[in-house]
Every structure is written in structure tokens, then in C-alpha cells.
Amino acid sequence: MIPVDPPLRLTDRKHAAILDAAVEEFRASGYEATSMDRIAARAGVSKRTVYNHFTGKDALFVRILETMLERGIVGPDLAYRADRPLRTQLLELVGQKLELLRDPAFVDLARVAMAAGLHSPDLARDMLARLGDREEGLTVWMRAAAADGRLKTDDPLFASMQLQGLVKSFALWPQLSMGQPPLDDARQARVAEAAVDMFLAYYG
């Protein structure tokens, strides 16, 4: 008999429906124009139900950003391994990042977050504070590689931001600010290899 996942509880299904509806509303309308009423209507639940799950629009948007960030957390298959070449591991990590950056939903929500932050710096600071200091997968990996003596850095977060900057200059910022199309497979591979090789030339 094929095992199946247990069905979601009603409250879990409503929670997921609210998040999905909010993502669509924020993507379609932007941060300012999105309201809890519109999210409730799209989710097929009452406004009271939305507030039972989230205290307000800010909290709901932050939860979406948390979900986006969690997608960048390294999985067990991409955790640092002392027995594998650094370049191979970094190419896998950067490849994971590039796949996320060409996800249309991710790009749209990043654009919404940027616009909201530009419109309200206080809101942007509050969002960053609520997101906390959890580290992305690349930073976690670099911290482990540096502790193992295979990367020359005493600041893994700084090193991670440098590598991500090399990638995002081709795979995120042109798409956000100039409406450029996402990278195709060949361009994505070229960006990944060049960024990793430049990084290892300095830190390896």
C-alpha cells in the first residue's frame, strides 16, 4: 500500500489559503494597495479568520518574507562536507540560489518588498527586525567551511554577501529594476561558474 501524507487540519488549510491569497494580492497590487479584506475574499475566509491567524498586514507580509528566506536555507543534501571539493559544493549552493532568483513569485515579492521599504523606511526596519538574524544557507555553509580551515575568512557573513552580490548583479537586480528576463540555463551556468571561481581565487 502506498503511504500518503495525513490530510491537513482545517485550520492548517485556512492558514495556507491565507498565505497563498496574500502572495497573489501582494504580487498583483503591491503592498500599499493590498488590504486584509481583499486577502480574506481571495482566500474564501472571513476577515476575522485572517486576523485570527495574523495580527495585521505587516505580520502577514513578514511571514511571507520568512517563507522566502526559508527557501534559501541550506538543506541536509547541501550542508558543508569536508570530503567534497569546495568548488563543487559552492556551484550547487549558487545553483540553488539562482533557481530561487528566477522564480517569478520570488521576484515579484522582492519587488513588492523593495517598494514597501522605499515608501516606508520604518516599515522596512521593522520587517528586518522581525525576520531576525537567521542565516541563509550559503552563510551557514561558509561558517562551517571556515571553521574547517578550508576558507580564509574570519567573517563568513561578509564573504557570503560578496558571493551573493556577484550573483545578484546578473540574476536579480536587472530583473527587479529594469524588467530584464530571468537568466536562461546557459547564462545561469556561466554566472555561477565565474562567481564561484572569483570567490575561491580570493577565499580558497
> What is the CATH number for 135?
1.10.357.10
- Are residues 34 and 86 part of one domain? no
Q: Which three cell numbers stand for residue 14?
A: 485556512
- pLDDT for 141: 93
Domain region containing 87: 71-204
pLDDT confidence of residue 76:
54
Give me the percent of the chain exceeding a pLDDT of 70.
Answer: 86
pLDDT digits (tens, 9 = 90+) for 72-104: 555 556 789 999 999 999 999 999 889 888 888
Structural domain includes residue 3? no
Give the pLDDT score at 108.
79
**Which spans in 10-155 are helix H?**
10-33, 36-43, 47-53, 57-70, 86-101, 104-119, 121-131, 137-147
Q: Which long-range contacts (CB under 8 A, 24 or more apart) does 144-152 make?
A: 144/79, 144/80, 145/80, 145/86, 148/80, 148/82, 150/82, 150/86, 150/204, 151/86, 151/203, 151/204, 152/203, 152/204
pLDDT band (50, 70, 90) for residue 4: very low
Residue 60's CATH number: 1.10.10.60
7 touches 94 (CB < 8 A): no
**Is the pLDDT score of 11 beyond 60?**
yes
Note the pLDDT tens digit of each residue in 17-75. Answer: 999 898 889 888 888 889 999 999 999 999 999 999 999 888 888 888 777 766 655 55
More reliable by pLDDT, 186 or 129: 186
HSE, side-chain direction, 13 A CA sphere, residue 26: 27
The H-or-E segment that residue 197 falls in is helix 185-203
> Does the reported pTM lie above 0.85?
no
What gap in Å lies between CA 3 and CA 202, rounded to an integer? 49
Domain boundary among 70, 92, 116: 70
> Do 120 and 154 share a domain, yes or no?
yes
Q: What is the pLDDT of residue 47?
A: 92
Taking only the tens place, the pLDDT of each residue in 107-162 is: 877 778 777 777 778 777 776 666 555 557 788 899 999 999 999 999 999 999 99
